[in-house]
Amino acid sequence: MQLGAQSYTIREFTQNEADFARSMKKVADIGYTTIQLSAVGDLKPSFMKQACDDNNLKIVLTHTNPDRMLKDPEGVIEDHNILGCQYIGIGMMPERYRSPEAVAGFADEFLRAAELFHKAGKKMMYHHHAMEWERVTPDKTMLDVILEKMPQEVLGITLDTYWVQAAGADVCDTIQALKDRIPCVHLKDMAIKGFEQRMAVVGEGNLPFNKILNLLKAQGTTKYLLVEQDNSYGEDPFACLKRSYEFLKGEGYQ
């Protein structure tokens, strides 16, 4: 498994060409070898590819506008060809589908784009939050509906360790249940401050990362481990990425 960073962590520093290039150098200098592009500015794919190549960073996943996937799937494919990126990610389900009554419509509407991506040698990746564990029936969640309606060969899941925990699900059980769907995993820790759940540097929260990492390694179906911290709570996000990297390097991942 290759270790990378999720650029959402440093989104404030990737909104123009100069900042993006500086940020990719900082990420590479920490030691990361792969990158997910998410919440970056309106930058040309060719520029981002060159900036990442200049720093020996492989672009492995994106978060792409879901509505563009529906309206211009061919353009999305071409952009990802330029980026050299196989995995085309949805960062969050569009608001119109975020209920037990509407979630099936998401799967119905996005299946065609997912099939086109598959034919082009790409794969649609769905990044979940906690809401997907809301029950549609007593024995079925919103996530179950998506998985049932969109075949494994056309839809992968970007598993996010923090959001599984926030949903009240067991992270390791979920990893096992989704083992053939998770080529990309977001590593994000959860800490507690008073009664508040907080996103944390990997290894500085309460998630059992030794168990999580050993399980992912044993299953052998995950290619990319991507560190993400949506909120750094006033700390320098690059410093947070560095501490996460140092923890994971100590666990044998680089």
Residue 75 to residue 15: CA distance in whole angstroms: 21
Name 172's Cβ contacts closer than 8 Å, sequence gap at least 6.
208, 211, 212, 215
Confidence of residue 234 (pLDDT cuts 50, 70, 90): very high
Q: Which is nearest to 199 in space by CA: 130, 116, 122?
A: 130
User: CA separation (Å) from 177 to 170, 182, 213, 218?
Assistant: 10, 10, 15, 14
The ranges assigned to domains in the chain are 2-250
3-state SS assignment for residue 183: coil
- Residue appearing with tokens 């096992």: 176
Tokens of 188: 């994000």
Q: Which helix (H) or strand (E) holds 190?
A: strand 189-193
Question: What's the predicted TM-score (pTM) here?
Answer: 0.97
Please give the backbone phi and psi of residue 155, each rounded to the nearest 5 degrees, phi first: -135, 120
Residue 154 to residue 126: CA distance in whole angstroms: 11
pLDDT for 189-200, tens place per residue? 999 999 999 999
pLDDT for 20-67, tens place per residue? 999 999 999 999 999 999 999 999 999 999 999 999 999 999 999 999
CATH class for the region spanning 2-250: alpha beta
Residue 4 to residue 31: CA distance in whole angstroms: 9
Residue 82 to residue 79: CA distance in whole angstroms: 5
Check: CB of residue 248 under 8 Å from CB of residue 202.
yes
pLDDT on residue 254: 75
Residue 105 to residue 98: CA distance in whole angstroms: 10
